[in-house]
Amino acid sequence: MVVTNSQTTFVNVAGLAELTPQPTLLVKGLPFFQPQATTVNASNGVTVPVPAGTLVMLAKQVRRLT
């Protein structure tokens, strides 16, 4: 699972809304192991559940490979 925020930079793509199905991406960031279930609040107001035992990456950069 990858989490982006306002500090995430996008290369070769303007943002998440521009990604097409099955893009080839390179994601740089910090991985965090989430031992207990939690939720992530998206900027559009959607709450995304994160199951216990999930590795979550906080993306610093998302690059679409060409």
CA 58: distance to chain centroid?
Answer: 6
**Count of structural domains within the chain:** 1
Tell me which of 66 and 1 has the higher pLDDT: 1
Q: What is the pLDDT of residue 12?
A: 95
Q: What is the pLDDT of residue 21?
A: 86
- Distance, in Å, from the CA atom of 38 to the CA atom of 51, rounded to the nearest integer, reads 7
Domain span at 35: 2-64
Tokens of 61: 């950069």
Question: Span 11-15, mean pLDDT?
Answer: 93
> Residues of the chain with pLDDT > 70: what percent?
100
pLDDT in tens, 31-49: 999 999 999 988 778 899 9
